Amino acid sequence: MLTIDEIKNISFRKATLSGGYRAEDVDAFIDEVIATFEQQKKEKTNLVHKIDRLATRLEEYREDEETVRNALLTSQKMSDACIREAKEKAAKIIREAEEKAQTLVSEANAMTALEKDKYLQLQSDAVELRNELIELYTKHIQSIDDLPTSSDVAQSKEELDKKYPTTPVAQPSPQPAAQPAPAQAPKAAKPAKPAEAPKVTDATTRVAIKRPGKFNHLKFGDNYDVSDE
């Protein structure tokens, strides 16, 4: 195949001395030129086909690129939406958990305060009961202290003997019972009357007589109930 330089610089052999070229050289050159142009035409046609295919493929690539770009944009949008929704859900869950925790803490504090109040109330009731018991037993102890002792009884006896002196009275001997009548008597003798016991006026006996005192209102014993006060 001829090149442009070969075509420009072609030289033919002289046919005669006067001039002209040999016909076989010119024909051969023309054949080569034709073959060269046919080859270039084929190559040009092939190149055009290749260019068309490349252009078609390039267009397909551009369409695919647009599809991929759209898919990427859609995926990016979906990803952003999912991330935003996940963040919103997470924030909502955290907010609800914080509110629930705050509610639980408030309820626990309220229950703790209530139990503390109950405990303090029980302590106050115990203190009040203690004071009442102390006051009650103090009164009882004071009442017990007011009761007479053996020394007080001896002193009272001495004062009574001194204020109201008495002389001892002899006890009369009991009269013997009447003897039964003889068997031949028509009726039995009446039994004698029992002798009356003499009246004792001794001061000690008078002190021992039971009389109401100022301590009869006190209550003692196992059956005594403090709640009756």
Give the pLDDT of the chain (229 residues) as one tens digit per residue.
656 666 666 665 666 666 666 677 777 777 788 888 888 888 889 999 889 889 888 888 888 888 888 888 898 889 899 999 999 999 999 999 999 999 999 999 999 999 999 999 999 999 999 999 999 988 888 888 888 888 888 888 888 888 888 776 666 666 655 555 555 544 544 554 544 444 444 444 443 444 444 445 545 444 545 445 4
Asked if residue 16 is part of any domain, the answer here is yes
User: How far apart (Å, rounded) are the C-alpha atoms in residues 10 and 4?
Assistant: 10
pLDDT score of 99: 93
User: How far apart (Å, rounded) are the C-alpha atoms in residues 52 and 59?
Assistant: 10
Asked if residue 14 is part of any domain, the answer here is yes
pLDDT score of 9: 64
Predicted structure pTM score: 0.32
| Neighbouring C-alpha atoms within 13 Å toward the C-beta of 79 | 6
Asked if residue 101 is part of any domain, the answer here is yes
pLDDT score of 115: 93
Asked if residue 136 is part of any domain, the answer here is no
In one-letter notation, the amino acid at residue 92 is K
Q: Which token pair is 227?
A: 């709640």
Tally of domains in the chain: 1
Asked if residue 127 is part of any domain, the answer here is no
What are the residues whose beta carbons fall under 8 Å from the beta carbon of 143, sequence distance 6 or more? 215, 218
Contact 15, 22 (CB under 8 A): yes
Instruction: Provide the residue range defining the domain that includes 84.
Output: 4-107
Asked if residue 63 is part of any domain, the answer here is yes
Contact 203, 157 (CB under 8 A): yes
pLDDT score of 10: 66
User: How far apart (Å, rounded) are the C-alpha atoms in residues 30 and 20?
Assistant: 16
pLDDT score of 208: 40
| Radius of gyration for the alpha carbons in the chain, expressed in angstroms and rounded | 75
User: How far apart (Å, rounded) are the C-alpha atoms in residues 106 and 193?
Assistant: 97
Asked if residue 32 is part of any domain, the answer here is yes
Distance of CA 16 to the CA centre of its chain: 128
pLDDT score of 97: 95
User: How far apart (Å, rounded) are the C-alpha atoms in residues 6 and 11?
Assistant: 9
- Residue appearing with tokens 């001997």: 173
pLDDT score of 204: 41
Asked if residue 60 is part of any domain, the answer here is yes
